[in-house]
């Protein structure tokens, strides 16, 4: 790790000020990606602004129509939350399946979304549930938020403060893990709500994406067989040692089918 | 007190307390006054000429103490690393032994090859400065695969081996084999790769060296499996230092699996540099460094054929293997795919004729050497894949074909040099069939099919050879070291005992097992016995721990020393009891005059030995301290039967190991709990090889793609089932404990059982290891395999 300057943020505005002034400064949330990259000397921020002490960034609020999760809420808290389990059990299960126990006790929803790792789980839940990302400056819809490989709609100096999830009628997340890293090779989040069905896929491409053909078929009939024969073209999918694009394309179909099965249970 | 049957008791490990409370003492825990820290500059290229190394900028970096390169070592006449086993090729020529410099001399030959060392006041400063060392490379084309290395026009790794061949070696009667094949009713042929593995001990390698001006002596603390061998090789062959001036300490070591047997460049560089800078210098590998610089395991490309008669009797076996040595010959690399591989090809069977030819090649990859099993997993894979495949091709029951060919009378001379002393293969097989409930398999398969899954069953009846020996035979086969073990029993005046062993425990639990043997033999409480190992200044000598040799060779040396203690004790007791020495027997911790109640307790005799007032000083030296060297008459031959049951999800290619049964014959067992732990660990590593672990170098660039846990998949708890294990005992006939060794058996037997089970589930002939989900899915696609339901 290279040396860097560390400071605790007193407020979100305070943190935003530091990173607006200095492109080499980084906000620290749970540190599960950033700190690992720093240890390997792959990341070299000059300044670290720790959001860990801003209490209002943490916590879960739920009512009949929505669940709102503070940006600094740890995955383990979401997984264990009675409110989340009741309102959107698929979201609690997703959080409970991220990384390992240590990662879940440190990692945060805001950190995960801001990083937008192509194999992260939360992007699938956020896009699948049509959540709204709330920042210190504005509200961004999930469809607008994810821009590409590690890219989001966040502007410089913009910090996620919370994420609001509308409560769906039913939903499920199914993930096929990379055997080594346990990141998603393919993760599919399926949700049915009053406004229709959404299918969001993580891990398979450079960035989380929706599958309109599956959504249409499921809107017509929410059943596993509706997606069983829908193939996503493998042209733009990731390809590596563990899973070439054609295998990933196949797994999208299998995981989508299983997600629908799980949502109906 | 006394008479406690410690041998055979499942006693909890004495050493666990210190490990569980964090009171262990590992090399990296050792901080010496004036400590400095080293960081190695390593090659980012698989193959390149070094045009220039510029260190001026780095030398000015904060905290830098010194920077050394290959030129400095050459100037100081530091030799390269030696190889400990000379293989003589089919034409009677010695193998090619290219130099293995401790710091690169003009050329780098694999990613991670060490180019320079930076020593600084802190690890961070050393790392910062290492990034400032500028190395100009002239990048050359690389070759990483064994098969490619033999092709015409392949990049040449060493000038002295222009065809990249280290040796071509053969074992067995080729003419007899060819003749048997020409008249065989059936021939089964398989071609496969035995995948390269990266060891991944939980404690990375580390070395901390210090020099004393006071007496011109050195101490090296190092994560090693065999400190005496490390010292011998380093002083006699590399640094030319007087052996008695170098102390090597291998303190607590967190796992080795073979990877810490060898003399590594980093250990030499630390020892050499400490005198240069006159300060202690420590290096601890980072995990990513371990991936590219630890010796790897396996990496064979093999064509194997089995000739059978119409009844399924094996007539002959023919095996052709290309073994990847990596960029340099590691300490014992040359004997792994030869002496420890081809000699095991008889397996448990009476195959009358066997011929194996092994070509060892150099490539631009990390050196390959012994890794848990070392040659024997590769041999078992050949034999047990062939046998299972032959049964399927001949529509025979895989159990029946094995039974038909089992060796049943002992001793048995195989056609590949080994003499099996004892065994009972039917016993382990029969027990495993029961434990695995093979009878219920078809019902379980049908149930799986209803759930859309494919079940398969696979067998592996393995044999292995432990405690490589005797020294003179090994020497005739090219070993450049002895293969005995040494032990010393120091009885203190009060009857407490300290035992010094040349074996080294790095997770095996010797402090418990060996203490059980000593306490049992002396009839004293285990708490009265401590085992000391891993320090050349304390232990008289040692060949270390590898090849599952510790109890069979190290334990036997201790027993020999114990026998001497008892013999001397009898003399002392005879004097004290005023009886004839021949009338004294040692029983339940006391020296007794036969047929009387006259006796002296062990501690009374030891006290007399150290306070020799009433003592036969004219005939006997005082004291009670004995040592022994034990050179085994033969290998030991643990064997067993593994049965693996898998469930394959054809939709995703996922293989779940649902049942794994291992019934092993390790001879006499000292501590069944520790043995079971060894079996669990070995099986998990075997499952790792078959299912998850695949070292992958990019064939063009030679970069290690699987250079971290993000891509190199170690097996985890949820990858393996709750094992069902059992044992059968046929005691080894030629060592005093009747023990055979158990450390590697799991890793040796498991891969074949697993691949046999997967191919059974899929109904295909073969699948490459590791059988990752993607690979299994592709096989399903190619063969249109779908869920039955």
What does the pLDDT average to over B67-77? 98
Q: Residue B533, Cβ neighbours under 10 Å: how many? A: 26
Contact A181 B696 (CB under 8 A): no
Which token pair is A124? Answer: 């699938």
Tell me the shortest Cα–Cα distance from A255 to chain B, in angstroms: 9
Contact B710 A180 (CB under 8 A): yes
> Residue B788 has what pLDDT?
58
Closest partner residue to B712 (CB to CB) among A40, A176, A180 is: A180
Residues of B with Cβ-Cβ distance to A179 under 8 angstroms = 692, 713, 719, 772-773
Which residue of chain A comes nearest to B706, CA vs CA? A241
- Average pLDDT value for chain B: 97
Closest partner residue to B711 (CB to CB) among A40, A180, A254 is: A180
> Residue B469 has what pLDDT?
85
Which token pair is A87? Answer: 């309102």
| Phi, psi of B526, rounded to the nearest 5 degrees | -60, -30
What does the pLDDT average to over B35-59? 98
DSSP letter assigned to residue A126: H
Choice between B789 and A45, residue whose per-residue pLDDT is larger: A45
SS3 B741: coil
CB of B697 within 8 Å of a chain A CB? The answer is no
Digit-coded pLDDT (tens) for B738-758:
999 999 999 999 999 999 999
| Phi, psi of B339, rounded to the nearest 5 degrees | -60, -35
Q: What does each C-alpha distance from B492 to A106, B401, B417, B513, B599 come to in angstroms?
A: 54, 57, 45, 21, 20
> Residue B4 has what pLDDT?
58
CB of B291 within 8 Å of a chain A CB? The answer is no
Contact A180 B692 (CB under 8 A): yes
Is 70 exceeded by the pLDDT of residue A72? yes
Question: DSSP per residue over B547-611, as a string?
Answer: TT-IIIIIIHHHHHHHHHHHHHHHHHHHHHHTS-GGGEEEETTEEEETTSS-EEEHHHHHHHHHS
Digit-coded pLDDT (tens) for A144-193:
999 999 999 999 999 999 999 999 999 999 999 999 999 999 999 999 99
Q: Residue B135, Cβ neighbours under 10 Å: how many? A: 21
Digit-coded pLDDT (tens) for A86-126:
999 999 999 999 999 999 999 999 999 999 999 999 999 99
Q: Residue B576, Cβ neighbours under 10 Å: how many? A: 19
Closest partner residue to A254 (CB to CB) among B127, B651, B711 is: B651
Residues of A with Cβ-Cβ distance to B128 under 8 angstroms = 2
Closest partner residue to B711 (CB to CB) among A2, A176, A241 is: A241
CB of B696 within 8 Å of a chain A CB? The answer is yes
Residues of B with Cβ-Cβ distance to A180 under 8 angstroms = 692, 706, 709-714
CB of B706 within 8 Å of a chain A CB? The answer is yes
Q: CA-CA distance, B108 to A75, in Å (whole number)?
A: 45
Which residue of chain B comes nearest to A182, CA vs CA? B710
Is 70 exceeded by the pLDDT of residue B237? yes
> Residue A256 has what pLDDT?
98
Contact B652 A176 (CB under 8 A): yes
Residues of B with Cβ-Cβ distance to A40 under 8 angstroms = 288
- On whether the CB atoms of residues A71 and A28 are closer than 8 A, the answer is no
HEC sequence for B713-735: CCCCHHHCCCCEEEECCCCCCCC
Closest partner residue to A241 (CB to CB) among B288, B705, B714 is: B705
Which residue of chain B comes nearest to A119, CA vs CA? B710
Q: What does each C-alpha distance from B162 to A13, B98, B327, B363 come to in angstroms?
A: 66, 11, 13, 12
What does the pLDDT average to over B338-349? 97
> Residue B468 has what pLDDT?
87
User: Closest by alpha carbon to B304, among B292, B313, B294, B314?
Assistant: B314
- On whether the CB atoms of residues B306 and B396 are closer than 8 A, the answer is no
pLDDT band at residue B485 using 50, 70 and 90 as cut-offs: very high
Q: Is the ipTM of this complex over 0.90?
A: yes
Tell me the shortest Cα–Cα distance from B474 to chain A, in angstroms: 40
What does the pLDDT average to over B298-318? 98
Interior/surface letters B358-388, b for 16+ CB within 10 angstroms, e for the rest? bbbbbbbbbbbbbbbbbbbbbbbbbbbbbbb
Q: Give the side-chain half-sphere CA count within 13 A for B167.
A: 25
Closest partner residue to A254 (CB to CB) among B652, B711, B774 is: B652
pLDDT band at residue B785 using 50, 70 and 90 as cut-offs: confident
CB of A4 within 8 Å of a chain B CB? The answer is no
Residues of B with Cβ-Cβ distance to A41 under 8 angstroms = 127
Is 70 exceeded by the pLDDT of residue B432? yes
Residues of B with Cβ-Cβ distance to A183 under 8 angstroms = 710
Tell me the shortest Cα–Cα distance from B124 to chain A, in angstroms: 8
DSSP letter assigned to residue B706: S
User: Closest by alpha carbon to B773, among A264, A241, A253, A101?
Assistant: A241
pLDDT band at residue B1 using 50, 70 and 90 as cut-offs: very low
Which residue of chain A comes nearest to B704, CA vs CA? A241
- Average pLDDT value for chain A: 97
Q: Residue A138, Cβ neighbours under 10 Å: how many? A: 10
Closest partner residue to B774 (CB to CB) among A40, A41, A243 is: A243
- On whether the CB atoms of residues B640 and B662 are closer than 8 A, the answer is yes
Is 50 exceeded by the pLDDT of residue B302? yes
Residues of B with Cβ-Cβ distance to A244 under 8 angstroms = 774
Contact A242 B652 (CB under 8 A): no
Q: CA-CA distance, B241 to B220, in Å (whole number)?
A: 13
CB of A42 within 8 Å of a chain B CB? The answer is no
Residues of B with Cβ-Cβ distance to A1 under 8 angstroms = 124
> Residue B460 has what pLDDT?
98
Contact B124 A1 (CB under 8 A): yes
CB of B787 within 8 Å of a chain A CB? The answer is no
Residues of B with Cβ-Cβ distance to A247 under 8 angstroms = 653, 774, 777-778
Q: Residue B300, Cβ neighbours under 10 Å: how many? A: 25
Tell me the shortest Cα–Cα distance from A34 to chain B, in angstroms: 15
Digit-coded pLDDT (tens) for B591-650:
999 999 999 999 999 999 999 999 999 999 999 999 999 999 999 999 999 999 999 999
Residues of A with Cβ-Cβ distance to B713 under 8 angstroms = 179-180
What does the pLDDT average to over A232-251? 97
Percent with pLDDT over 70 in chain B: 99
> Residue B86 has what pLDDT?
97
Contact B774 A247 (CB under 8 A): yes
Which residue of chain B comes nearest to A248, CA vs CA? B774
Burial of B162 (0-12, 13-18, 19+ CB in 10 A): exposed
- On whether the CB atoms of residues B14 and B20 are closer than 8 A, the answer is no
pTM of the model: 0.96
DSSP letter assigned to residue A247: H
> Residue A107 has what pLDDT?
98
Tell me the shortest Cα–Cα distance from A180 to chain B, in angstroms: 4
Q: Compute the Cα dihedral for B141, B145, B147, B149 and give only its sign.
A: positive
Q: Choosing among A180, A224, A247, which should be mutated to test the B contact, i.e. which has the most B CBs within 10 A?
A: A180
Question: DSSP per residue over B373-435, as a string?
Answer: TTTHHHHHHHHHHHHHHHHHHTT--HHHHHHHHB--SSSEE-TTS-EE----HHHHHHHHHHH
Tell me the shortest Cα–Cα distance from B392 to chain A, in angstroms: 30
List the 655-694 stretch of B: residues with Cβ below 8 A of A.
692
Digit-coded pLDDT (tens) for B79-99:
999 999 999 999 999 999 999
Tell me the shortest Cα–Cα distance from B364 to chain A, in angstroms: 20
> Residue A216 has what pLDDT?
98
Contact B710 A181 (CB under 8 A): yes
Q: Compute the Cα dihedral for B729, B733, B737, B741 and give only its sign.
A: negative
Q: At what angle do helices B556-577 and B602-610 cross, to 10 degrees?
A: 80
Is 70 exceeded by the pLDDT of residue B3? no
> Residue B2 has what pLDDT?
42
């Amino acid at each position: 790790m290279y040396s860097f300057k560390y400071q605790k943020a007193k407020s979100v505005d305070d943190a935003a000020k530091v990173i607006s002034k200095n492109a080499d400064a980084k906000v620290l949330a749970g540190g599960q990606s950033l700190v690992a990259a720093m240890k390997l000397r792959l990341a070299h921020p000059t300044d670290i602004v720790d959001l860990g002490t801003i209490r209002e960034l943490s916590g879960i609020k739920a009512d009949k129509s929505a669940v709102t999760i503070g940006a600094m809420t740890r995955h383990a808290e979401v997984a264990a939350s009675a409110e989340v389990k009741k309102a959107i059990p698929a979201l609690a299960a997703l959080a409970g399946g991220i990384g390992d126990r240590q990662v879940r006790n440190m990692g945060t929803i805001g950190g995960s979304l801001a990083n937008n790792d192509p194999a992260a789980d939360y992007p699938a839940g956020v896009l699948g549930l049509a959540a709204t990302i709330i920042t210190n400056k504005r509200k961004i819809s999930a469809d607008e938020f994810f821009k590409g490989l590690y890219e989001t709609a966040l502007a410089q100096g913009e910090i996620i403060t919370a994420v609001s999830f509308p409560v769906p009628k039913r939903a499920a997340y199914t993930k096929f893990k990379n055997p080594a890293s346990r990141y998603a090779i393919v993760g599919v989040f399926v949700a049915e709500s009053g406004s229709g069905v959404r299918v969001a896929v993580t891990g398979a491409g450079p960035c989380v994406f929706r599958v309109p053909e599956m959504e249409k078929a499921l809107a017509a009939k929410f059943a596993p067989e509706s997606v069983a024969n829908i193939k996503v073209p493998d042209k733009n999918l990731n390809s590596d040692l563990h899973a070439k694009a054609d295998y990933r394309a196949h797994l999208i179909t299998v995981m989508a089918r299983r997600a629908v099965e799980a949502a109906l249970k | 007190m006394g008479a406690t049957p410690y041998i055979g008791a499942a006693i909890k490990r004495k050493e666990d307390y210190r490990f569980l409370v964090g009171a262990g003492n590992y090399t990296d825990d050792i901080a010496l006054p004036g400590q400095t820290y080293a960081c190695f500059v390593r090659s980012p290229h698989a193959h390149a000429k070094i045009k220039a190394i510029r260190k001026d900028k780095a030398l000015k970096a904060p905290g830098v103490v010194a920077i050394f390169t290959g030129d400095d070592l050459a100037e100081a006449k530091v030799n390269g690393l030696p190889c400990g086993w000379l293989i003589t090729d089919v034409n009677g020529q010695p193998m090619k032994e290219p130099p293995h410099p401790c710091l690169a001399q003009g050329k780098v030959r694999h990613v991670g090859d060490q180019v320079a060392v930076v020593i600084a006041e802190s690890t961070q400063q050393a790392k910062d400065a290492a990034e400032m060392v500028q190395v100009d490379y002239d990048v050359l084309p690389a070759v990483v695969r064994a098969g490619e290395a033999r092709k015409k026009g392949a990049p040449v790794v060493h000038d002295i081996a222009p065809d990249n061949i280290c040796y071509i070696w053969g074992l067995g009667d080729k003419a007899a084999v060819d003749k048997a094949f020409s008249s065989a009713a059936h021939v089964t042929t398989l071609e496969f790769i035995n995948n390269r593995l990266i060891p991944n001990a939980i404690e990375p390698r580390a070395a901390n060296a210090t020099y004393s001006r006071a007496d011109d002596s050195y101490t090296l603390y190092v994560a090693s499996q065999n400190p005496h061998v490390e010292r011998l090789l380093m002083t006699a062959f590399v640094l030319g230092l007087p052996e008695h001036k170098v102390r090597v300490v291998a303190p607590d070591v967190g796992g080795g699996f073979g990877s810490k047997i060898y003399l590594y460049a980093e250990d030499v560089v630390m020892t050499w540099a400490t005198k240069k800078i006159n300060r202690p210098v420590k290096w601890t590998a980072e995990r990513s460094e371990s991936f590219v610089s630890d010796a790897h395991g396996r990496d064979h490309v093999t064509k194997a054929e089995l000739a059978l008669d119409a009844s399924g009797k094996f007539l002959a076996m023919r095996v052709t293997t290309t073994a990847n040595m990596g960029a340099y010959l590691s300490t014992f690399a040359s004997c792994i795919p030869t002496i420890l591989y081809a000699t095991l090809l008889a397996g448990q069977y009476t195959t009358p004729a066997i011929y194996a030819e092994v070509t060892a090649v150099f490539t631009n990859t990390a050196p390959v050497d012994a890794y848990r099993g070392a040659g024997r997993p590769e041999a078992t894979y050949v034999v047990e894949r062939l046998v299972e495949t032959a049964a399927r091709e001949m529509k025979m029951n895989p159990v029946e074909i094995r039974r038909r060919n089992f060796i049943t009378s002992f001793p048995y001379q195989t056609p590949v040099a080994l003499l099996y002393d004892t065994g009972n293969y039917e016993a382990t097989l029969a027990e495993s069939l029961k434990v695995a409930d093979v009878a219920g398999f078809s019902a379980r398969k049908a149930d799986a099919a209803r759930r859309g899954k494919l079940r398969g069953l696979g067998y592996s009846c393995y044999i292995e050879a432990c405690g490589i020996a005797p020294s003179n035979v090994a020497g005739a086969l090219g070993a450049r070291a002895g293969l005995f073990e040494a032990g010393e029993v120091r009885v203190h005046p009060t009857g407490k005992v300290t035992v010094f062993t040349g074996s080294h425990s790095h997770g095996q639990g010797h402090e418990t097992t060996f203490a059980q043997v000593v306490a049992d033999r002396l009839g004293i409480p285990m708490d009265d016995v401590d085992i000391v190992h891993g320090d050349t200044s304390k232990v008289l000598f040692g060949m270390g721990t590898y090849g599952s040799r510790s109890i069979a060779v190290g334990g036997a040396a201790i027993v020999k020393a114990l026998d001497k203690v008892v013999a001397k004790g009898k003399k002392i007791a005879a004097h004290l009891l005023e009886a004839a020495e021949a009338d004294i027997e040692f029983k339940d911790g006391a020296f007794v005059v036969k047929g009387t109640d006259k006796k002296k307790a062990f501690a009374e005799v030891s006290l007399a030995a150290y306070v020799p007032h009433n003592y036969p000083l004219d005939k006997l030296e005082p004291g009670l301290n004995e040592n022994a060297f034990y050179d085994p008459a033969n290998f030991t031959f643990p064997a067993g039967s593994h049965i693996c049951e898998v469930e394959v999800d054809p939709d995703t290619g996922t293989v779940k190991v649902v049942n794994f049964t291992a019934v092993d014959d390790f001879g006499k067992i000292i501590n069944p709990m520790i043995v079971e732990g060894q079996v669990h660990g070995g099986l998990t590593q075997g499952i790792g090889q078959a299912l998850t672990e695949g070292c992958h170098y990019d064939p063009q660039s030679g970069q290690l793609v699987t250079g971290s846990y993000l891509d190199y998949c170690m097996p985890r708890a949820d990858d393996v089932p709750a094992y069902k294990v059992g044992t059968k005992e046929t005691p080894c006939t030629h060592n005093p404990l009747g023990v055979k060794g158990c450390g590697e058996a799991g890793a040796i037997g498991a891969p074949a059982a697993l691949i046999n089970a997967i191919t059974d589930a899929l109904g295909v002939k073969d699948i490459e290891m590791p059988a990752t989900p993607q690979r299994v899915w592709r096989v399903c696609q190619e063969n249109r395999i779908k869920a039955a339901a």
